[in-house]
Amino acid sequence: MTMEPVTADRRSAGKPIAAEDEPILEVQFDDLEQQHEASMLGMWLFLATEVLFFGGLITSYAVYRSTSPREVALASHHMKVGLGCLNTVILLGSSLTMALAVRASQLRAHRDLLWWLGGTMVLGTLFLGVKAIEYTAEYQENLVPGWNFQIPEENRATIEQEQLNPGRFQMFFVLYFFMTGLHAIHLIIGIALVGVMAYLSWRRWFSGGGATQIEVTGLYWHFIDIVWVFLYPLLYLIDVHS
């Protein structure tokens, strides 16, 4: 059964499209396979860019941690490990729902797809909520550099005794807010993207169920998840045993 590929012209001509149709073939591609391959490779390359983007920050972190391990360890004790742990569970769960959404789109299971995309958005938003609670607590403890930062009472004596660099102590929080803030921005973009996909799927806008689009969105979502998997131990767990 060879089906005529649906072209962009057909959509603009207002002819009805349905999930049963083949996906729309953009004019620059020869066939659907090539189109799918290009979309996937494009997102993988974008993620390579993102790895280097966060890589610059993680390098900075590594340099400061290796040259001032004591300051970084002291500062990391102010992290809310419990909330961070909860957030890790939430985000890993959202990766599961996202993976199930991709599966549902490939099976053209329309209802399931909407449920899983919705679930992914809820979990993503939940993560942001927990993060907001953390940020608020840190603000109340005067730990936000550039706003109200003060070295906490309990660390002052140690810093003086061991002649540590208070600038490096604050640096941990600069990097913490920058790294988690950048991660949160990525997550907000991710939630918006999943939201757009959910809306378009709900309106049955995708010819052929939108499997490629949702798979590409899924790649991005898993990337956000993986960044957190690195940030969580780097920032929260480095000195948790001492």
165 lies in the site for another protein, by CB under 8 A = yes
Q: Is 29 in the site for another protein (CB under 8 A)?
A: yes
Assess 20 for contact with another protein (CB under 8 A): no
Q: Is 73 in the site for another protein (CB under 8 A)?
A: no
Name the segment binding another protein (CB under 8 A); options: 40-48, 77-85, 123-131, 190-198.
40-48
Kindly report the number of other CB atoms within 10 A of residue 133's CB atom: 13
CA distance 111 to 119: 12
As to burial, measured by CB atoms within 10 angstroms (0-12 exposed, 13-18 middle, 19+ buried), residue 122 is middle
Q: Which is nearer to another protein, 15 or 241 (CB)?
A: 15
Residue 170 lies near another protein (rule: CB under 8 A)? yes
Residue 34 Cβ vs another protein, minimum distance, rounded to whole Å: 6
Minimum CB separation of residue 72 from another protein in Å reads 11
SS3 track for the chain: CCCCCEEHHHHHCCCCCCCCCCCEECCCCCCHHHHHHHHHHHHHHHHHHHHHHHHHHHHHHHHHHHHCHHHHHHHHCCCCHHHHHHHHHHHHHHHHHHHHHHHHHHCCCHHHHHHHHHHHHHHHHHHHHHHHHHHHHHHHCCCCCCCCCCCCHHHHHHHHHCCCCHHHHHHHHHHHHHHHHHHHHHHHHHHHHHHHHHHHHHCCCCHHHHHHHHHHHHHHHHHHHHHHHHHHHHHHHCCCCC
Q: Does 21 bind another protein (CB under 8 A)?
A: no
The answer to the question of residue 150 lying near another protein (CB under 8 A) is no
The residue range among 16-24, 59-67, 89-97, 216-224 that interacts with another protein, by the rule CB under 8 A, is 59-67
Site string for another protein, 98-127 (x = CB under 8 A): ------------------------------
Count of positions (residues) in the chain: 242
Say whether residue 45 binds another protein (CB under 8 A).
yes
Residue with smaller CB distance to another protein, 90 or 175: 175
> Which position among 17, 24, 25, 64 is part of the footprint of another protein (CB under 8 A)?
64
Identify the residue among 2, 16, 52, 111 touching another protein (CB under 8 A): 52
* Residues of the shown chain interacting with another protein in the complex, contacts defined by CB under 8 A: 9, 27-30, 34, 37-38, 41-42, 45-46, 48-50, 52-57, 59-60, 63-64, 67-68, 145-147, 149, 165-171, 174, 178
